Amino acid sequence: MKHTDFGSMPCPIARSLGKVGEWWSILILRDAFYGLTRFDEFEKSLKIAPNMLTRRLAGLVEGGLMERRQYSARPPRYEYVLTKAGRDFKPVLLAFVAWGNDHLAPEGASLLVVSRETGKPADQVLVDANSGLAINDEDYMFAPGPAATEGMRTRLVQINQPARA
């Protein structure tokens, strides 16, 4: 099956999905944050077919989220470690944890983000580092960046119009 190439789209969401939009890729990144690095560790944890795991790891390496490093010469063995871009994906995974716990876990949370110091669960919110304020719909909106296309600028003007009474 041929997938659409989102790499040339101006939308950062589309471009990001082009790199990590496959669910296996996101689960591999999750396991990498858990400390897994070796092919057999990912295979065992995810119960994924080796050919599928090979493709997903290759895609994450090609996409710059993981790096393939040789750790044994005889026989040649490799591990997969997060790059800076891969490590920068962590807030996305944390958002999945919070959203999944809030909306998809009627039995209760199976995974929490907790303070190392107190052990208390974090109340995750997206915060503007400049102001310290939580990012919400009342105070923040989408705006075009310097590379926004005319179409994106038009769309953003339309969605940021106040609702008519």
SS3 readout for 78-137: EEEEECHHHHCCHHHHHHHHHHHHHHCCCCCCCCCCECCCCCCECCCCCECCCCCCECCC
In this predicted structure, the answer to whether residue 2 has a pLDDT above a threshold of 80 is no
- With cut-offs at 50, 70 and 90, classify the pLDDT of residue 165: low
Q: pLDDT digits over 47-103, tens only?
A: 999 999 999 999 999 999 999 999 999 999 999 999 999 999 999 999 999 999 999
Given 65, 84, 103, the domain boundary residue is 84
Residue 74: inside a domain, yes or no? yes
- With cut-offs at 50, 70 and 90, classify the pLDDT of residue 4: confident
Q: Within the chain, what is the greatest distance between any pair of CA atoms?
A: 72
Residue 33: inside a domain, yes or no? yes
**Residue holding tokens 């940021």?**
160
Tokens of 71: 């750790």
Position 20 scores a pLDDT of 82
Residue 144: inside a domain, yes or no? yes
Range of the domain at 44: 21-84
Residue 89: inside a domain, yes or no? no
Give this prediction's pTM. 0.85
Q: What is the CATH number of the domain that holds 65?
A: 1.10.10.10
